């Protein structure tokens, strides 16, 4: 199946070159396929590299058996492993949620506009007390996230490390690389959101909906399809309302919108 994914990715790339298309001009499914294939091939390349030394391939087979979550792409996971491993990954994400919210509350003291400062504090209190915010609650703060103290260029290193963990990205990079990586990943999600809004959530299969929700921070493995679609619609409403300078808000929404949504809180 990975081989078939590679052939499809190569075909999409060829079409991009022939038609002079950029990534954001592709259809939603083409964009998502390329994004996922890049992640899978990166993991495969790592396994290939550690297999290079003589007789290392025997050790690699043992490591893949012992650590399938870390070394195998999802094509080789069993159905039970898929659920278990996604739960594990989401558990790692959730460990950063309280820290992200703490940083937001601290940053609220530096917001110059009194009404926005009060609204940001109220939103943090609401989420920390177990209430799921509405899209309107989140969008009302868009001005806070385009400039100091919560714009991409103003985020502190500790904030970026917590946000990286919430996005399942390594937090162990220098601050400039953390900032660049977080911004590029958020832009890709924003581009995917615009393509998905154009396609329509109703056109997605149940598995595609769950995968889309999981990418955006929701542990969708234990949530009914209609609830996932409702959450994804709320996310798209926020995402498609934002401009690129405001995308730090979309990044923080990974935590704001997933922390207390239905069964996701445990």
Q: What is the pLDDT of residues 129-145, one digit of tens each?
A: 999 999 999 999 999 99
- The pLDDT tens digits of the residues spanning 139-163 come to 999 999 999 999 999 999 999 999 9
Query: pLDDT tens digits, residue range 232-244?
Result: 999 999 999 999 9
Domain locations along the chain: 2-74, 94-264
Q: Are 223 and 262 in contact (CB under 8 A)?
A: yes
Rounded average pLDDT over 16-40: 93
In whole angstroms, what is the distance from residue 252 CA to residue 170 CA? 17
Whether the CB-CB separation of 234 and 253 falls below 8 Å is answered with: no
Predicted pLDDT at 263: 43
What are the residue ranges of helices labelled H in the chain? 2-19, 28-50, 56-66, 68-71, 79-94, 97-108, 114-128, 135-139, 157-166, 175-199, 206-215, 225-239, 247-256
Predicted local distance difference test score (pLDDT) of residue 242: 97
DSSP 48-59: HHHT-STTHHHH
Based on its alpha-carbon atoms, the radius of gyration of the chain, rounded to whole angstroms, reads 19
**Average pLDDT across the chain, whole number:** 91
In contact, 86 and 93? CB cutoff 8 Å: no
Q: Is the pTM of this model over 0.85?
A: yes
184 burial (CB, 10 Å; 0-12 / 13-18 / 19+) is exposed
Mean pLDDT computed over 45-55: 75
Residues of the chain with pLDDT > 90: what percent? Answer: 77
């Amino acid at each position: 199946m990975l081989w078939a994914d590679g052939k499809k990715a190569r075909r999409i790339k060829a079409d991009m070159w022939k038609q002079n298309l950029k990534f954001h001009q592709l259809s939603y499914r083409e964009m998502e396929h390329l994004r996922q294939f890049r992640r899978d091939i990166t993991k495969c390349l790592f396994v290939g590299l550690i297999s290079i030394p003589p007789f290392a391939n025997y050790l690699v087979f043992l490591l893949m058996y012992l650590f399938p979550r870390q070394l195998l792409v999802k094509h080789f996971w069993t159905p039970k492993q898929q659920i278990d491993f996604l739960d594990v990954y989401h558990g790692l994400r959730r460990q950063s949620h309280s820290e992200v919210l703490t940083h937001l509350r601290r940053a609220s003291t530096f917001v110059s506009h009194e009404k926005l400062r009060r609204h940001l504090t109220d939103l943090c209190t609401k989420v920390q007390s177990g209430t799921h915010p509405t899209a309107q609650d989140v969008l009302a703060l868009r001005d806070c996230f385009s400039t100091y103290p919560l714009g991409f260029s103003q985020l502190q290193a500790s904030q970026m490390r917590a946000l990286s963990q919430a996005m399942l990205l390594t937090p162990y990079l220098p601050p400039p690389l953390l900032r660049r990586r977080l911004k590029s990943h958020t832009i890709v999600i924003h581009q995917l959101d615009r393509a998905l809004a154009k396609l329509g959530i109703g056109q997605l299969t149940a598995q595609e909906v769950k995968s889309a929700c999981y990418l955006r921070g929701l542990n969708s493995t234990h949530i009914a399809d209609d609830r996932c679609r409702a959450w994804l619609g709320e996310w798209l409403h926020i995402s498609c309302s934002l401009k690129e300078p405001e995308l730090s808000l979309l990044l923080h929404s990974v935590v704001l919108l997933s922390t207390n949504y239905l069964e996701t809180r445990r």
